[in-house]
Amino acid sequence: MQIGILGAGHIGTAIARTLARAGIAVSIANSRGPQSLAPLVAELGPSVTAATPEQVAQADLVFVAIGWSKLPQALKGLDLSGRIVVDANNPIEAPQFKPFDLHGRTSSEVFADLVPGARVVKALNHLLAEVLGTDPRGHGGQRVLFVSGDDVQAKGELAALLQRTGYATIDLGGLVEGGRMQQFPGGPLAVQHLVKQA
């Protein structure tokens, strides 16, 4: 499975670090071009390569971790139809940290509209980046990540990948109901640092 990351901010970098720690090959892209990612790639090692957004969009599984207001422009023109696309975003941004008004919809519903035909799974959005990027094996067990989505196979493939990195996963159900529980702000599971005991 080819894996890519769109976005090299705090969350995108944490995802890349998590995959690199497990020796899983991944390409990562940002809006500034592959050359701007040279220091990060050098830090994370040979399993991580810099790419363009168009190259990342060709992967079988694509993590998207981009500032909420930048998502429409960043995804414009990318064909992610048929691919597993992981929505690792929350509808809030620094420095104001004022939630965007989604008019009663969940953030994943809004996100899914931006990637028509993609197999969307909500995950990796409920932990702070500084926690997400650290080794999940600790505190007497495995750190927990939640997954939500309507495509059971896509959720299963993502869960298997995350488990290879040392995380435990919990399936919260469909994209809307599960996504509502884990989205930040407002979701009861947001920022919850749970550990599955060994």
Say what the pLDDT of residue 95 is.
Answer: 77
> What is the average per-residue pLDDT within 61-77?
96
pLDDT digits (tens, 9 = 90+) for 147-179: 999 999 999 999 999 999 999 999 999 999 999
Say what the pLDDT of residue 155 is.
Answer: 98
Say what the pLDDT of residue 140 is.
Answer: 81
pLDDT digits (tens, 9 = 90+) for 9-53: 999 999 999 999 999 999 999 999 999 999 999 999 999 999 999
Walk me through the domains of the chain, giving residue ranges and CATH numbers.
3-197 (3.40.50.720)
More confident residue, 146 or 98: 146
Q: What is the DSSP string of the chain?
A: --EEEE--SHHHHHHHHHHHHTT--EEEE-TT-GGGGHHHHHHH-TTEEE--HHHHTTSSEEEE---GGGHHHHHTT---TTSEEEE---S--TTT-PPP--TT--HHHHHHHHSTT-EEEEES-SS-HHHHTS-SEETTEEEEEEEEES-HHHHHHHHHHHHHTT-EEEE--SHHHHHHHH-TTT-TTTT---EEE-
Going by C-alpha positions, the residue among 109, 127, 135 that lies closest to residue 182 is: 127
The end-to-end CA distance of the chain, in Å, is 29
